[in-house]
């Protein structure tokens, strides 16, 4: 079963009806061109020209720019170089007290404040999109959750030259 | 109870002749087979060195047909045998599974059901081989073995395995393994996933790869010991018969198959089927994932300071369950839990085999849903569960009663890691942010006032939790649990038939449990039950996590709500029932008090230890929601309207998290959005984000000062202290991240 581009657009938008999702998109074998189709759609949608190498989440990409590979937000804000932890360049709100977590869920349904447990929200410092939420004890290091091996992916898995290669 | 001799499938017990070792293939001992298999895997990287799958290529129809027939035999054994059981856990929910193993203990195929056991039986068989059972204890046609010793190959104490060797012309050609989840396994308290157990000596009945029968009959002394050692001997007996009968059905089906295809072709088939499983995983990795390094961490709160019985367990603990995964350029997958907490005085210690089972149950759901489900995937993943940690203690003296308390949080991190890879690759529909951990809603038992009979309480409606969101839609509402993909709530009437003294007053959606996000997690649900015409009723609640989250959301989605406990003693329900009234909900915590008078015990913890309940006492429990995906401000309005109308969320929560304002008609359950007020509220939320946040750099400075002052809760300090004591690389990385001196320690005095 192969999916067409408009189905992938709807998949990205979250508007693909369940029967299509179930019958065309979920089953194996998967569409072998999925990565390329996805990148093509995402690239058409952003307002900048840097080439998207890999999407990190709905609002964040590793791109090939003039100054090498960087982590770039959808709004155009550049956070850091691709091998660094982009979270370190975000703004953060850490909810730890009862009155802070009470905005999310009712009393008793959020962490007990006596346990110094945090809900950390990471925002894009430009447009304040919410880029990640962590639930961790106070003092927990900020993990770099994903370090993509871009060269291996393009050269060995897709058997293509890396888009920003020499 | 009179004991009829057990002759299954018409095979009379005196038909078996003794076999002399070696009993392996082609004159090998089992140990020689195992050594050869391990050597070939190490030398070639392939199962039994099978580079090319000759049979699959040369006679594909025959090959696939053999697999289907074996798989069919396992499923058939399960579907038939479960009717022998009387336990609702087994019969209604299907908490059983059958597996077929090679002589050296590698899984060839498995039935549906609690498939987490694919690799646990494998470890038990390998233990018997390495302990020389072939020569000492002997392995004979018609023998029956039993294991539930977690340290040797089991998930938790209440899962009991029955293993039978299958011979063909005096050669051991396979093992059949049946496993059921027992409603009671003895132990210090009632209940099948104990909370109070802190060591093995409180866990209950253990069979350590024990020979429990021969000539197809269970020994009388074993049967007596087991029935006297558990609180529900009738369930025990019928569950055992169910496992034995199913294993015998598999033996019969396999013998027929080998008669038909010949033993040599069968043997070659098993090698190729497992190698195919291994190759499938590798090719799936390249097809679906993105090479690179992935990191996440889960946490397991153990709030025993006020609840614990054993003095050594009376402290608040937090288990650290970090997961780093590597998707290699060659399609290999590795998993490393360096930094995991040490084991402790709680029932959540987890053997390596159980962790492997959890990995396997996860991979079959996200990467291998249509492949040959067997030990091939085990051979394809390089996993490190550090020795001496809570996820591989190597210490039989610990309690392993509720190992799921380590497995379930850990695999939240694994699913997120794999989901990041799916997302990077464009497979948004395969993303799964995790799940609600099932815990054990209510466990224990009591006596029926009329019959004086003991009834256990162990409702497995807990298998219907909220699933995590994907990157293309919301998580399933109240219809998922990670350990058994065929989840089923069971009919209330079925539970009431067994759990006679605890009828249901209600079952409905629990609002505000689903993790927030562009796609929300699946919702949980809640239930109220009343103690009725019973005496000596002792119950405990074992829902996790309560005091902290165990996992996060993904890509801007929030973790689901945490759990809590409430119960009411000395109620006015007797009077209320006379007026045909009774409470039905605690939709928003505190609602319950409005509808019932009595002594309300409400805590932030999802657990309470075994507690005595009297008639008309009120029991409450709820199932959690799944984690969310993406920024809640990206959630479409029509979905939020639906959330409000279905009572997935209450209006106050939708307003503060999603910024959607409007009028909800509670009677008609219709929501009308106020677009202007919504626009304004959402602008306010964005403004709040700007004002209430700070740069991560300045946050790091503040948190570092806090670490230097050790300004942390006891359980957080205890967690860091335990990990530091283990002295592995994680501690160095921690110090490096916070720019702390090499000798920086966090101690618990
Ligand atoms: Zn931005």
Q: What is the rounded CA–CA span in Å between residue B424 and residue A74? A: 15
Task: Please identify every stretch of chain B with a pLDDT value under 50, giving residue numbers as ranges.
Answer: 1-12
Q: Which residue in A has a C-alpha nearest to residue B291's C-alpha?
A: A149
Q: Which of B527, B480, B532 is nearest to B506 (CA)?
A: B527
- Chain A CB contacts of B712 below 8 Å: 116, 137-139
| ipTM for the whole complex | 0.98
Q: Which residue in A has a C-alpha nearest to residue B697's C-alpha?
A: A88
B53 lies within 8 A of chain A by CB: no
The pLDDT value recorded for residue A166 is: 59
Distance B500 CA to ligand 1 centre (A): 58
Q: What is the mean pLDDT of chain A?
A: 95
The pLDDT value recorded for residue B749 is: 59
In this predicted model, what pLDDT tens digit does every residue of B349-395 receive, in sequence order? 999 989 998 998 898 888 887 777 788 888 889 999 999 999 999 99
Contact A129 B690 (CB under 8 A): no
Contact B689 A92 (CB under 8 A): no
The pLDDT value recorded for residue A67 is: 84
Q: What is the rounded CA–CA span in Å between residue B234 and residue B196? A: 25
Q: Mean pLDDT throughout A14-35?
A: 92
Task: State percent of chain B over pLDDT 70.
Answer: 98
Q: Which residue in B has a C-alpha nearest to residue A56's C-alpha?
A: B424
Q: Where are the domains positioned within chain B?
A: 6-278, 433-635, 636-692, 696-737
The pLDDT value recorded for residue B22 is: 96
Please state, as a whole number, how many other Cβ atoms lie within 10 Å of the Cβ of residue B61: 7
Contact B555 A131 (CB under 8 A): yes
Q: Which of B551, B562, B694 sits opposite A92 (nearest CB)?
A: B694
- Chain B CB contacts of A110 below 8 Å: 561-562
Q: Which of A59, A116, A125 sits opposite B712 (nearest CB)?
A: A116
Q: In chain B, which among 509-568 make CB contacts under 8 A with chain A?
A: 512-513, 516, 518-519, 546-559, 561-564
Q: Which of B549, B656, B696 sits opposite A103 (nearest CB)?
A: B656
Torsion angles phi and psi, residue B517, rounded to 5? 170, 175
Q: What is the rounded CA–CA span in Å between residue B383 and residue B395? A: 19
Query: How distant is the Cα of B612 from the closest Cα of chain A, in angstroms?
Result: 24
The structure's pTM equals 0.95
Contact B604 A143 (CB under 8 A): no
Q: What is the rounded CA–CA span in Å between residue B413 and residue B323? A: 6
The pLDDT value recorded for residue B12 is: 46
Q: Where are the domains positioned within chain A?
A: 1-45
- Chain A CB contacts of B426 below 8 Å: 8, 34-35, 37-39, 55
B592-627: buried (b, 16+ CB within 10 Å) or exposed (e) per residue?
beebbebebebbbbbbbbbbebebbbbbbbbbbbbb
In this predicted model, what pLDDT tens digit does every residue of A79-107 receive, in sequence order? 999 999 999 999 999 999 999 999 999 99
Ion ligand 1 residues within 5 Å by Cβ: A 73, 75, 77, 124, 126-127
**Do B589 and A108 contact (CB within 8 A), yes or no?**
yes
Q: What is the rounded CA–CA span in Å between residue B378 and residue B385? A: 14
The pLDDT value recorded for residue B43 is: 97
Per-residue tokens: B181: 């989840």
Please state, as a whole number, how many other Cβ atoms lie within 10 Å of the Cβ of residue B736: 11
Task: State percent of chain A over pLDDT 70.
Answer: 98
SS3 content of chain B, % helix, strand, coil (to 5): 40, 20, 40
Contact B561 A109 (CB under 8 A): yes
Q: Which of A46, A163, A23, A139 is nearest to B731 (CA)?
A: A139
**Do B191 and B117 contact (CB within 8 A), yes or no?**
no
């Amino acid at each position: 079963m192969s999916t067409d581009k408009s189905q992938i657009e709807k998949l990205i938008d979250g508007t693909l009806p369940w029967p299509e999702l179930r019958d065309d998109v979920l089953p194996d074998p998967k569409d072998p061109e999925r990565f390329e189709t996805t990148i093509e759609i995402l690239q058409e949608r952003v307002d900048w020209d840097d080439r998207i190498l890999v999407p990190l989440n709905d609002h964040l990409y590793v791109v090939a720019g003039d100054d090498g590979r960087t982590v770039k937000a959808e709004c155009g804000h550049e956070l850091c170089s691709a091998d660094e932890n982009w979270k370190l360049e975000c703004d953060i709100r850490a909810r730890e007290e009862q009155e802070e977590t009470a905005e999310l869920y009712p009393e008793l349904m959020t962490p007990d404040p006596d346990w110094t447990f945090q809900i950390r929200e990471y925002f894009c410092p430009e447009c304040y999109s919410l880029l990640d939420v962590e639930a961790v004890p106070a003092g927990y290091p900020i993990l770099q959750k994903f370090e993509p091996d871009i060269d291996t992916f393009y050269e060995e898995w897709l058997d293509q030259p890396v888009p920003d290669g020499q | 109870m009179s004991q009829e001799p057990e002759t299954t499938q018409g095979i009379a017990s005196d038909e078996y002749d003794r076999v002399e070792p070696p009993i392996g293939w082609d004159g090998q001992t089992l140990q020689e087979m195992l050594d050869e298999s391990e050597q070939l895997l190490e030398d070639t990287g392939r199962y039994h060195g099978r580079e090319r799958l000759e049979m699959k290529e040369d006679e594909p129809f025959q090959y696939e047909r053999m697999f289907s027939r074996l798989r069919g035999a396992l499923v058939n054994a399960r579907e038939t045998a479960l009717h022998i059981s009387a336990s609702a856990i087994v019969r209604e929910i299907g908490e059983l599974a059958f597996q077929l193993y090679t002589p050296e203990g590698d899984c060839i195929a498995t039935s549906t059901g609690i498939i987490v056991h694919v690799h646990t039986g494998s470890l038990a068989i390998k233990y018997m081989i390495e302990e020389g059972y072939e020569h000492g204890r002997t392995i004979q046609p018609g023998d029956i073995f039993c294991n539930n010793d977690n340290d040797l190959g089991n998930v938790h104490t209440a899962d009991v395995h029955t293993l039978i060797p299958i011979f063909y012309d005096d050669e051991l050609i396979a093992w059949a393994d049946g496993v059921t989840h027992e409603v009671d396994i003895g132990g210090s308290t009632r209940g099948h996933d104990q909370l109070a157990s802190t060591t093995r000596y409180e866990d209950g009945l253990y069979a350590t790869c024990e020979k429990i029968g021969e000539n197809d009959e269970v020994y009388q002394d074993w049967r007596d010991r087991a029935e006297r050692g558990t609180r529900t001997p009738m369930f025990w007996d019928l569950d055992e018969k169910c496992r034995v009968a199913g294993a015998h059905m598999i033996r019969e089906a396999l013998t027929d198959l080998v008669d038909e295809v010949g033993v040599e072709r069968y043997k070659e088939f098993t090698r190729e089927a497992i190698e195919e499983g291994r190759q499938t995983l590798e090719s799936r990795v390249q097809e679906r994932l993105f090479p690179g390094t992935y990191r996440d961490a889960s946490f397991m709160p153990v709030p025993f300071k006020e609840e614990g019985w054993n003095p050594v367990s009376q402290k608040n603990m937090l288990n650290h369950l970090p997961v780093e995964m590597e998707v290699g350029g060659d399609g290999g997958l590795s998993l490393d839990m360096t930094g995991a907490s040490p084991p402790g005085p709680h029932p959540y210690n987890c053997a390596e085999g159980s962790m492997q089972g959890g990995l396997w149950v996860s991979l079959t759901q996200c990467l291998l849903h249509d492949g040959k489900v067997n030990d091939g995937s085990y051979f394809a993943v390089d996993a490190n569960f550090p020795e001496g940690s809570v996820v591989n203690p190597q210490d039989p003296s610990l309690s392993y009663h509720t190992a799921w308390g380590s497995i379930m949080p850990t695999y939240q991190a694994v699913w997120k890691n794999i989901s990041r890879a799916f997302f990077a690759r464009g497979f948004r529909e395969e993303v799964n942010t995790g799940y609600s951990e099932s815990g054990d809603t209510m466990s224990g038992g009591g006596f029926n006032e009329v019959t004086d009979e003991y009834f256990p309480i162990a409702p497995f409606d807990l298998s219907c939790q909220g699933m995590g969101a994907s990157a293309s839609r919301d998580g399933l509402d109240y219809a998922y649990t990670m350990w058994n993909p065929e989840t089923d709530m069971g009919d209330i009437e079925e539970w009431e038939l067994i759990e006679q003294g605890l009828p249901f007053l209600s079952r409905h959606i629990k609002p505000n449990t689903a993790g927030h996000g562009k796609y929300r997690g699946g919702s949980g649900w809640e239930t109220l039950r009343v103690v009725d015409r019973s005496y000596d009723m002792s119950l405990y609640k074992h829902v996790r996590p309560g005091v902290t989250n165990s996992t996060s959301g993904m890509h801007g989605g929030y973790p689901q709500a945490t759990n809590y406990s409430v119960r009411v003693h000395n109620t006015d329900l007797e009077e209320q029932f006379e007026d045909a009234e009774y409470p039905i909900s605690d939709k928003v915590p505190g609602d319950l008090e409005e509808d019932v008078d009595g002594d309300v015990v409400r805590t932030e913890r999802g657990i309470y230890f075994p507690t005595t309940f009297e008639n008309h006492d009120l029991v409450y429990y709820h199932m959690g929601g799944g984690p969310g995906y993406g920024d809640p401000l990206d959630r479409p309005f029509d979905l939020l309207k639906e959330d409000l109308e279905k009572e997935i969320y209450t209006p106050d929560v939708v307003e503060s998290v999603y910024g959607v304002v409007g009028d909800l008609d509670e009677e008609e359950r219709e929501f009308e959005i106020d677009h202007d007020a919504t626009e304004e509220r959402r602008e306010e939320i964005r403004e709040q984000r700007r004002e209430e946040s700070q740069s991560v750099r300045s946050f790091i400075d503040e948190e570092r000062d806090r670490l230097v002052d050790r300004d942390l809760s006891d359980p957080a300090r205890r967690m860091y202290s335990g990990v530091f004591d283990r002295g592995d690389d994680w501690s160095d990385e921690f110090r490096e991240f916070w720019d702390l001196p090499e000798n920086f320690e966090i101690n618990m005095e």
